[in-house]
């Protein structure tokens, strides 16, 4: 038996979006789709969720939900296509089906959060053990070797600086903010709170790394230059490395405009190729792009470059260790469409690797997953408010559904506790 494809009824460019334009079909897929439907229906009937089909069929929690409770609603418009995709590639199919408008949601984040909260239990255990036989494998061309990494980074960060400007605030920080614990409740934070919260995140990392007058700083992952600028304002000299030509161009312009070109150098360089000695090494949400196989190299490189008595400050998205181990060789929708080659570590994995391969130790860490959920909420609101401008930049409706799914998918992970984000401070073991 083999899997073939048929054209989706959605209006999608098949050359640009082949995974969305074509639906898996054939005898093998017919069996897989039927099994996916059984698993999905059984799971939904255990979850605080209502699934409504266009023919009027309703699935949903029948026990443990108080009468009158408003549940998130998922509406399935083309069930045959939906289950064909789900049976063929699991969560990749779920995302592609949303991109094809085969299902929609009353609140996309709430619907995904229901599934994220039960991620380890949605599929029966015997079938989980067989996941390696039927789920897609990560392509070798997306491994984060020195030869592949730049193309992986470019696929996301070189999309368009103008796109990112539409939903990021003025600091152009594309990572979790740290909102004021003494200010409004997290659920009440507003766009106006955002720039201060992003600067607070950066300043805490700089403080913990002892960055001040004369400090030699290495930043791994430039972003659009905000951390390098704030370090330079403290009197530090900064070398910042990136593999995104778009980010380097804008970061260089911002640094020059602020008058810090003599203190900050942005290099288009792989972190593995950096030479020198630095008093502080800082990296914000870049380890997720390193790849599972290269974490040892990443921390060995940091250890090699760190001066005696130096400090390291890393902000990292993390997941529970058990889920990390189960999923570390799984190819996901996020890999295929958003971050090729990426993988999220656990805190335990980071501690184990630094213990095994380096002289570094974790001295302090701060968990701030709730702050990331609100960061993503603000990004989502801003992105949706600028859909006309996104279209004007040349990004079609499929891209916009993809990006919306990505923001909601990520936020749901933090709200469900499946994901966290940590600021981890390292120094050398005595």
C-alpha distances in Å from residue 365, one per residue of 87, 217, 347, 360: 40, 20, 10, 14
For residue 124, the model assigns a pLDDT of: 55
Query: Rounded distance, CA 198 to CA 168, Å?
Result: 10
Closest C-alpha among 286, 239, 254, 245 to residue 158: 245
Closest C-alpha among 160, 276, 292, 272 to residue 218: 276
Query: Rounded distance, CA 45 to CA 60, Å?
Result: 5
Q: Give bridge partners of residue 241 from the DSSP assignment.
A: 220, 267
Please name the residue ranges forming H helices in 238-314: 245-258, 295-305
Closest C-alpha among 341, 342, 345, 339 to residue 324: 345
For residue 154, the model assigns a pLDDT of: 76
Query: Rounded distance, CA 346 to CA 325, Å?
Result: 9
Structural domains of the chain in order of their starting residue, each with its CATH number: 4-136 (no CATH), 142-428 (3.40.50.150)
Counting every residue written for the chain, the total comes to 430
Tokens of 214: 């004369």
What is the DSSP annotation of 224-244?
TSHHHHHHHHTT-EEEEEES-
DSSP state of 259: T
Side-chain-facing half-sphere of 15: CA atoms under 13 Å: 0
Cα torsion 89, 92, 94, 98: sign: negative
Residue that the structure tokens 């690797």 belong to: 353
Query: Rounded distance, CA 175 to CA 380, Å?
Result: 13
Helix (H) or strand (E) segment spanning residue 425:
strand 420-428
For residue 60, the model assigns a pLDDT of: 83
Beta pairing class for 264-268 and 237-242: parallel
Residue that the structure tokens 């971050």 belong to: 339
Beta strands in 325-406 (DSSP E): 360-367
Closest C-alpha among 297, 284, 180, 167 to residue 225: 284
Closest C-alpha among 90, 192, 100 to residue 133: 90
- Whether residue 332 contacts residue 341, with contact meaning beta carbons closer than 8 Å, is answered with no
Per-residue pLDDT in tens (0 to 9) along the chain, 430 residues: 345 666 666 678 999 999 999 999 999 999 989 999 998 998 888 889 999 999 999 998 655 555 567 899 999 999 999 999 999 988 899 999 999 999 999 999 999 999 888 766 666 555 555 555 556 677 777 776 676 677 778 788 889 999 999 999 999 999 999 999 788 888 899 999 999 999 999 999 999 999 999 999 999 999 999 999 999 999 999 999 999 999 999 999 999 999 999 999 999 999 999 999 999 999 999 999 998 999 999 999 999 999 999 999 999 999 999 989 988 888 899 999 999 988 999 999 999 999 999 999 999 999 999 999 999 999 999 999 999 999 999 999 999 999 999 999 999 999 999 999 999 999 998 8
- Whether residue 215 contacts residue 239, with contact meaning beta carbons closer than 8 Å, is answered with no
- Whether residue 367 contacts residue 311, with contact meaning beta carbons closer than 8 Å, is answered with no
- Whether residue 405 contacts residue 380, with contact meaning beta carbons closer than 8 Å, is answered with no
Query: Rounded distance, CA 342 to CA 149, Å?
Result: 10
Beta pairing class for 22-25 and 264-268: unpaired
Side-chain-facing half-sphere of 24: CA atoms under 13 Å: 25
For residue 117, the model assigns a pLDDT of: 83
Helix (H) or strand (E) segment spanning residue 166:
helix 161-167
Cα torsion 60, 61, 66, 69: sign: negative
For residue 4, the model assigns a pLDDT of: 64
For residue 380, the model assigns a pLDDT of: 98
For residue 406, the model assigns a pLDDT of: 97
- Whether residue 156 contacts residue 347, with contact meaning beta carbons closer than 8 Å, is answered with no
């Amino acid at each position: 038996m083999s899997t073939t494809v048929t054209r989706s009824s959605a209006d999608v460019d098949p050359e640009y979006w082949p995974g969305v334009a074509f639906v898996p079909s054939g005898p093998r897929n017919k069996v897989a789709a039927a099994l996916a439907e059984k698993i999905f229906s059984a799971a939904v009937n255990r979850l605080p969720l209502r699934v409504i089909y266009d023919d009027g069929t309703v699935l949903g929690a029948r026990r443990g939900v108080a009468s009158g409770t408003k549940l998130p609603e998922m509406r399935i418009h083309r069930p045959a296509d939906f289950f064909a995709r789900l049976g063929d590639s699991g969560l990749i199919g779920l995302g592609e089906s949303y991109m094809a408008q085969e299902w929609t949601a009353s609140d996309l984040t709430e619907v995904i959060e229901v599934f994220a909260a039960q991620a380890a239990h949605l599929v029966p255990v015997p079938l989980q053990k067989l996941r390696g036989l039927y789920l897609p494998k990560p392509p070798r061309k997306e491994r984060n070797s020195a030869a592949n990494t730049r193309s992986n980074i470019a696929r996301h960060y070189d999309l368009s600086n103008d796109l990112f400007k539409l939903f990021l605030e003025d600091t152009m920080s594309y990572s979790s903010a740290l909102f004021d614990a003494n200010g409004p409740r997290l659920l009440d934070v507003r766009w106006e709170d955002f720039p201060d919260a992003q600067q607070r995140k950066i300043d805490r990392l700089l403080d913990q790394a002892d960055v001040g007058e004369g400090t030699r700083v290495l930043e791994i992952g430039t972003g659009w230059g905000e951390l390098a600028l704030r370090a330079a304002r403290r009197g530090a000299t900064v070398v910042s490395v990136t593999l995104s030509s778009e980010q380097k161009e804008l970061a260089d312009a911002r640094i020059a405009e602020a008058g810090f070109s003599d203190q900050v150098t942005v290099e288009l360089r792989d972190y593995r190729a950096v030479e020198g000695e630095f008093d502080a090494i800082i990296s914000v949400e870049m380890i997720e792009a390193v790849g599972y196989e290269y974490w040892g190299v990443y921390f060995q490189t940091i250890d090699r470059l760190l001066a005696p008595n130096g400090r390291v400050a890393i902000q990292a998205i993390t997941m529970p260790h058990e889920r990390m181990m189960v999923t570390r060789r799984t190819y996901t929708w996020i890999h295929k469409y958003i971050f090729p080659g990426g993988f999220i570590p656990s805190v335990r994995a980071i501690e184990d690797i630094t213990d095994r391969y380096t002289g570094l130790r974790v001295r302090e860490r701060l968990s701030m997953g709730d702050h990331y959920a609100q960061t993503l909420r603000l990004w989502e609101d801003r992105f949706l408010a600028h859909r006309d401008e996104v279209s004007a930049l040349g990004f079609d409706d499929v891209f916009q559904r993809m990006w919306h799914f990505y923001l909601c998918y990520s936020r749901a992970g933090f709200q469900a506790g499946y994901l966290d984000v940590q600021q981890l401070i390292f120094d050398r073991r005595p």
